[in-house]
Structure 1
């Protein structure tokens, strides 16, 4: 009976992870670009710089979007790592670490409005 060498299995697993990551990144870029292109900036009244509340609202939207995208990437990576672990404890630990990072990212994305509200209170916006 023919057995596939361990190195070949590891390379196949790595290629699978790399392909999945590439699909996730390309999908995120395709979905993010049209939204950014169609977004209309706020129109300042006097032609000067944007008022502080508008800047903080824009910062909040960007921050939540970036954190959510990164958390989703880590969540997908955790799923790929876990499904390709094959009982390998090191790979399972790697998947758990990616899952923990995803949960932290989602938590920060949820807390972004609260943190920016604190900043707004400090700077008087």
Structure 2
């Protein structure tokens, strides 16, 4: 390696190190220089939650159902891939059946999520 190549490499490494330090420090500076909470109006009172309990439970229900359906669909696709690529291998077929079973459990939990959340709402008293 030539000297100019080594110098360029060292310069590149030092530049990367400088960026690794400067970017987080500048982000911290922006956060500290823009304190929005200090200018909050305390006349209206303090609100601990932006939504009521039924709204929070409805949002939670949608989130849980969406996640469960997404994961169950992923397992369903994996089961199909395992089954299609099994080629008669019993271990691959068992793997596909396990993924299919997990997908069905996920879909079942997604369907039962509203019932379970209503149960929680009844216990909490919302």
Per the shorter chain, which TM-score range?
0.5 to 0.7
Gaps of 5+ in 1: 1-45
Match of 1:3 in 2: none
Q: How does 1:72-111 map to 2 (within 5 A)?
A: 72-111=73-112
Following TM superposition, by how much is the alpha carbon of 1:47 offset from its aligned partner in structure 2, in angstroms? Answer: 8.2
RMSD over equivalenced CA pairs, Å = 1.3
- Report the TM-score, using the length of structure 2 for normalisation: 0.62
Following TM superposition, by how much is the alpha carbon of 1:107 offset from its aligned partner in structure 2, in angstroms? Answer: 0.2
Q: 1:75 to 1:47 in 2, by over 3 A?
A: farther
Distance in 1 of aligned mates of 2:94 and 2:57: 38
Distance in 2 of aligned mates of 1:108 and 1:53: 21
Match of 1:56 in 2: 57
The structure 1 segments of at least 4 consecutive aligned residues displaced by more than 4 Å after TM superposition are none
Bigger Cα Rg = 2
- Report the TM-score, using the length of structure 1 for normalisation: 0.62
